[in-house]
Amino acid sequence: MAVAIVSGSLCSCLARYLFLGILASCVIYTTVYQLSSEDLRRNAADYIQRGGSAFEQKPTFDVANIHYSPQQLSFIGTDKKERLVDEDFFLSKAYANSMQPSKVIPYYFKAQKAFNKEEVTITTLITENRFGVFKKLVRNYRGPISVCIWIRDDEEKDQHFTRLHELYNEEPLLREYVDMHVVVDKFDFQLNMWRNVARLFARTDYFMLLDVDFHICTDLKAYLKANPIAMDLLRQGSALVLPAFEFKDEIDGVDSATFPTDKKVVEKLVNNKKLMAFHSAKFAPGHAASNYTKWYMTDEIYQVTEFTWKYEPYVILKKEGTPWCDERFVGYGANKAACLYEIYISGVDYYVLPNDFLIHQSHAYPESKRSGGRKLNADLYTAFRDELCFRYAKAMFFANELNTPKAANLKSQCSKLKGFVNAMAEFADMWPQSKALDHK
């Protein structure tokens, strides 16, 4: 009997230490991953320069050799001496968690206009089949845009570059407002990597995560400029949400020139069953936390209070300090939700703008290209949420932030994960603050 008790205790002890060993390995990996990528990406736009005015720029990419790049980065050390680093080498580390090899060409074309640091840069991503709707976005916004353009590295890439130059020459506003960054590789749909490229090289303090086929229906720039509450929220690091809509009949969503520009008209169209919250019929959790019922009734900015891990709104964020989109998500499904989830549990609160809104411009969805990645990304997202909760709980513990308002979002979300709550119980002696994670 005594032997059985000792054996049971020994097994229990070994199991516990095995679990702690695995958990420690996960935390160490994710911490190294976070630090190495964050330091390299910070202020990279200041390091990389492209010569010549927008009207004189020529291709910086040799289509005969994907590894060719004449660009170097200049770093000035504490000894005031200049040190040069190959741009390709630097960027291969900055995007080390994406699929490689991948050729990133920042500022392939650079906007001629100088932007105020307090402006909001739209960051988006396109492939050649979205060039037409991208021109509409540029004409509508007439403000800073940082776009990542993916070109497949195959025998037709010369033609794709030619088409990119044709696009640039067709629309004069591109020269004025748009910084174009090109990614050349063989990998479809590295959506979060492309989002990070567009954000990294944005040249203002705030950026908007926007899909290219959404039309901004109001004068967003004027509203933000005139609204000190909204700008103060951005300065302190909060996120601003723009509610998104779509037409019930796709034909009504083709021509953005016919879209409403007034909130009251939107509400009328919704009541008449012509307009609805984006994807409310296909995937309601994607935007439900924006609380459309409240939006119709208020003219004041309000906080998102029912955040879920499936929430994926279109947001304006502060460039510095906001977590990056995890580049392990490749293909469709969960990529943007994972990005916004990490931003939220890091301590960033979400607020909904009361009078500005977006409407989706109808286009065909190639479901055959989307379905394959959804299952894989769904499985990855499940593990990813546990990983994030461990990482941020550890970071906030060592920063003495677990019992501060910054940890409120982490507590509300991570306490819903059974594995995380059980694991935290194992650290009750080491981390007394972790008891605060028990949300009951």
Query: Where in the chain are the domains?
Result: 18-212, 213-440
**CB count in 10 Å sphere of residue 363:** 14
Q: Which residues contact 80 (CB under 8 A, 6 or more apart)?
A: none
Task: Indicate the burial class of 82 (C-beta count within 10 angstroms; 0-12, 13-18, 19 or more).
Answer: exposed
pLDDT tens, position by position, for the chain (440 residues)?
433 433 444 344 444 444 444 444 444 444 444 434 444 444 444 444 443 333 334 444 444 444 445 678 888 888 888 888 888 888 888 898 898 889 999 999 999 999 999 999 999 999 999 999 999 999 999 999 999 999 999 999 999 999 999 999 999 999 999 999 999 999 988 999 999 999 999 999 999 999 999 999 999 999 999 999 999 999 999 999 999 999 999 999 999 999 999 999 999 999 999 999 999 988 899 999 999 999 999 999 999 999 999 999 999 999 999 999 999 999 888 899 999 999 999 999 999 999 999 999 997 666 555 556 778 888 899 999 999 999 999 899 899 998 899 999 999 999 999 888 888 877 765 455 444 455 44
Q: Is the pTM of this model over 0.85?
A: no
Residue 356 tokens read as 């500005």
